Amino acid sequence: QKKKNFIPATIDAEGITCLALSPNHKYLAIAEKSEKAIITIFDLLTLKRRKLLVSPECGSREYVSMAFSPDGKTLAAQAGAPEWNLLLWIWEKAKVASMVKSTNQQGMPLYQCAFNPHDGSLLTVCGNQIFKSFRAAESNLKPLAPLLGKREPQNYTTHLWLPDEKERVVVGTDQGELLLVEGGELKGSLVSPGEGIAIEVILPYSKGFIVGGDHGRLSLYEKTEDKDYYKSSKSFAIENNLVKLKSLAIQPGEETLICALENNQMFSLSMANTDIMKADEMNFELFTQSFHSKGITGVDCCVRKPLVATCSTDNSVRIWNYNLKTTELVKFFPEEAFSIAFHPSGLHILVGFADKLRMMNLLMDDIRAFKEFGIKGCKECCFSHGGSYFAAVNNNTIQVYNTYTCDNIGNLRGHNGKVKSVYWSPDDTKLVSAGMDGAVYEWTLKDFKRNKENVIKGCGYNCVLSTPDSHQILAVGSDRKLKEFEESPGAGFQVSKEFDTGGVMTQICLPISGRALFAASETGTIRSYNYPLTGQYTEYQAHAGPITRMRVSFDDTMLFCVSEDGSLFVFDVREKDGRAKAGKEAAVAFAEEVLVTRSDLEEKKARMAELETQVNELTTQNEYKLRLKDLDLNERIKDITEKFTHELEGDKAKFELLLQEKNEQEMEYEEKLKQSEERHQGQMHALEAQFQAKIMGEVERYHALQQEKELLNERWDEQNALLVESHERVILELTEEYEEKLQEEQVSLHTEQQEKGEAAREFEETKRQLEEDADREIDALKKQYEAKLTQEREVGLRLKGENGIMKKKFNALQKDIDDQKEEIKQLFEQKKELYQTIGSLEKDIAGLKKEISERDETIGDKEKRIYDLKKKNQELEKFKFVLDYKIKELKKQIEPRELEIADMKEQIKEMDHELERYHKNNASLDLTISDLKLKLDGIQKESLLQRKANQDLQSVIRQFHHNLHETAQHIQDPKALKESVKKLYQKHCAEDVKPTELEEDIQKEYNRQREYLEKSVESLKRKLHKDMESHRQDNMRIMQENVTLIKEINELRREVRQGEASQSRG
């Protein structure tokens, strides 16, 4: 069951611009348009607000897109115009981690931002001529290299990071292109869902991704292993909703896909059967019910039924059931509807269209007009409380009609401007009106004259109403004030109370209880004023646009308001302590009557009778089939019962034998068990005695080792004391010795430092002399190597000339090799054609064999049928005694019957001859098949010869490749290369090679023979098929005639026997 929950928005906000859901589905981010763009984070488990994110760095009044990071700790938010800043929030701390301007120099708009699901630091944005990527690092966003390279910029409407690939992203454009980017490079374009169909949204799922675009088009792309990466598997369109798909959502189990459209509709698509769905069928269903696609202009509620009627500029009129929260009726009209009124009975509505005012009946499944009035563009109409009259506004005139006769009983004239609001008094004797001319009039319907008035120039009133006692009048208008009028001396009203509303109020409603006043504003908020008026109110945020109409239910428990945003809000009206208001008619249940026309009722009755007849027929058929099944099942149960009874008896006998064997084995194993226990006890006693002796020996050994250990400890203590004394003496001797050596080393170090200074001076002198010698040698070597370089250049030029000659020779050889390859390719093609011919012939032979086997099976079935008929004939002969009373009449007919029998026998003989002739034809067909087999063998032999020749050519080519490779090894040695090329030429061109071309006459003769054989095979196939068909038909005809003749012969035989038996008895 579908359940709805409401999340309250911010009161001062102007509407929700975008949403984002965290990857763990725990948090929801809502962005709202306001003076400063607002982001609110809600906990989806408790529906409570977690954080409120507001930043002056936003640079816009709204956010156009948001996305949570893969770990859910950060939130990317793309702000709107004019700055188009991209903000990265650490939302749990309500802190902006970094901010960057993501648009281009022209300030083009942006549509979407998204995180890479495998890399939480990689963020991308797309927009008009913009597709950028950023890296989040060290509290800033660094722009990366363009992912689309130098591609011409387009209007990139949406993009998606594929969750099953680390660096793969799909980008959609307004021209219907799908671009695939992987690893920072553009891989190419995928198959478009439709030429010129703008792509609006891309959603991932387990098999690939789903694309939603313009014209209600939805395409499913699945992953493939080929170079195209993804292919379009299915494409669907939502009928009668050729608008943009704005958003897609899929259940975690991928059972249902939800589509949100630009015209405020939501459809669901079952993903379980997408493989078998047809693309040209309507596979979508409304997710809840249909909604208005444009602004709603009128609303009214019914007294006797829980119904609300709305009309809209989308040319539709809808009837809603607010108890069931469903749509009862929907009907579209050619013109826009501006106002609507619901009759208290719930059986009629009054709708003001652009061309006329229409009175309509609410039928069971239709809204049908039965009276039209010549009032164009009626912006206000309403029924009286009793339903006997209704008032309709015609520009600045109010026309009053009788509901049941539809007669115009009076016109109320006096307004100088358009009348905006009309209100009936509770007793239906007075009418209050207000208009753009600033006038509020009270009219009496007895004489259709003005009773009281109040005129304020410059104030255009939007709504007016009177209190239940008709003593006060309340009105709101363009002066942004809420006024309360009271009677004044004379024939007028005077303003008794006036409150500044701070904005334009569009509608007001006063419940019958008179405890509160509801007012609607042009910003979409609803205020609840305390009544009598004190100026105090409570404000509730509802719509995202100006509220156009507002009504309270008859029992004061529901408040209905509609707006230009196309939505209908239903509020539950309660007391301040939370208790629901008790309606006056709480004891009266809502009416359930509906209107049905006589023709519809007769049609439904006829349809019901037809369906009842079909049901009865189906019931009879099903009962007959069930009886047959019961009989069959009873027989099967009987057979199975007998079978299992026999098996059970056999199993019982087996069980008794096995039980006896089990008892014998138990006794045997009990004896073995006793013997093994006795043996085990004896072995255990022996082992205990043995191990007791071993333990005693080990104890004695342990005591001896203990004494030996104590002696060793005493000896070691003495040795340790001696070692300590000797060690101390050695340390003193070594200390004295090394002090003497240290003094000697210091003396030697001083002498070494003096020698080092002298050696450094000698090294500097030697270094200077060596540098001079090296300079002289370098000059000499430079001159020598420059001479060698000139010689090498001359040699290089000469080698270049020889290399050009070798290149020409190599090109000539390469051309010869290419010619050989072309010849080999032609041979391969001929070989392939021969294989195809062989395969087709083998298929034909298999088909002929299959047909022969089918004919054999048919003949076997017919013989079996003949055998069954003979058996039945034998059974029927057993009942010949029943027909004894016909013997006397049949005696006179015996002779002509015998003549007929003889004729029948002659016909049977002729049929036998004809059957033999058909057998001969079958034999000739067998000979034809054998000839075809011989031809096939010949073709196979020829194919083997061609294969052998091909193998010889391949071996020659391989040998040539080997020799050519050996020749190429001498490419650096011209002489060896020349000799090798000569040997190669002598080896492979020993004889003059002449181009061998097939003579034209031989080729023509070959083609003619081939065509002749193909035509012969085709004609033989057709002839064989025709003969087999005719044979089958003749066989069937002969078999049927044989059956009828056998039946007649059997009947005549019975008659003859009966006649003979009766004659013998006579």
**pLDDT per residue as tens digits for the range 955-1004:** 888 888 888 888 888 877 888 888 888 887 887 776 555 555 556 777 77
pLDDT at 337 over 60: yes
> Is the CB of residue 414 less than 8 Å from the CB of residue 447?
no
- Which two tokens mark 409? 């009983």
**Continuous segment of H or E residues that includes residue 132:** strand 130-137
DSSP state of 960: H
Summarize pLDDT for 659-704 with one digit per residue, the tens: 888 888 888 888 888 888 888 888 888 888 888 888 888 888 888 8
Strand partners, 367: 362
Summarize pLDDT for 794-840 with one digit per residue, the tens: 877 778 777 778 778 778 778 888 888 888 888 878 888 888 888 88
Residue 50 neighbours by CB under 8 Å, 6+ apart? 27, 41, 42, 43
Helix 894-968 and helix 974-988, axial crossing angle in degrees, nearest 10: 150
Strand partners, 31: 18, 39
Q: What 3-state DSSP class applies to 330?
A: strand
Output the pLDDT for position 361: 93
Summarize pLDDT for 915-934 with one digit per residue, the tens: 788 888 888 888 888 888 88
As a whole number of angstroms, the distance between CA 198 and CA 172 comes to 8
Residue 92 neighbours by CB under 8 Å, 6+ apart? 51, 73
Summarize pLDDT for 511-557 with one digit per residue, the tens: 988 888 999 999 888 999 988 888 889 888 888 889 999 999 988 89
Output the pLDDT for position 173: 92
Q: How far is CA 571 from the centre of its chain?
A: 37
> Is the CB of residue 364 less than 8 Å from the CB of residue 600?
yes
Output the pLDDT for position 584: 45
Residue 585: which pLDDT band, with cuts at 50, 70 and 90?
A: very low
Instruction: Tally Cβ neighbours within 10 Å of residue 54.
Output: 12
Residue 1033 neighbours by CB under 8 Å, 6+ apart? none
Q: Count CA atoms closer than 13 A to 286's CA, side-chain side.
A: 10
Q: What is the largest CA-CA distance in the chain?
A: 173
Output the pLDDT for position 316: 94
Instruction: Tally Cβ neighbours within 10 Å of residue 260.
Output: 18
Summarize pLDDT for 136-153 with one digit per residue, the tens: 887 788 888 888 877 888
Q: How far is CA 749 from the centre of its chain?
A: 90
**In this structure, CATH architecture of domain 16-144:** 7 Propeller (2.130)
pTM of the model: 0.57
Fold type of domain 290-379: Hemopexin (2.110.10)
- Domain edges within the chain: 16-144, 148-175+199-288, 290-379, 599-673, 875-1052
- Which two tokens mark 129? 């001529």
In the chain, DSSP finds a helix count (H) and a strand count (E) of: 5, 51
Summarize pLDDT for 851-861 with one digit per residue, the tens: 888 888 888 88
Summarize pLDDT for 454-483 with one digit per residue, the tens: 888 888 999 999 998 888 899 999 999 999
As a whole number of angstroms, the distance between CA 774 and CA 912 comes to 126
Mean pLDDT of the chain: 85
pLDDT at 760 over 80: no
> Is the CB of residue 181 less than 8 Å from the CB of residue 159?
no
pLDDT at 875 over 70: yes
Give CA separation, 68 vs 8, 113, 123, 757, in Å. 21, 10, 10, 76
Q: How far is CA 219 from the centre of its chain?
A: 8
Domains 16-144 and 290-379 share a fold: no
Summarize pLDDT for 192-223 with one digit per residue, the tens: 887 778 999 999 988 889 999 988 888 999 88
Measured CA angle at 993 (ends 990, 997), to 5 deg: 155
As a whole number of angstroms, the distance between CA 614 and CA 607 comes to 11
As a whole number of angstroms, the distance between CA 293 and CA 330 comes to 13
Residue 780: which pLDDT band, with cuts at 50, 70 and 90?
A: confident
Q: Count CA atoms closer than 13 A to 703's CA, side-chain side.
A: 5
- Which two tokens mark 616? 């009865």
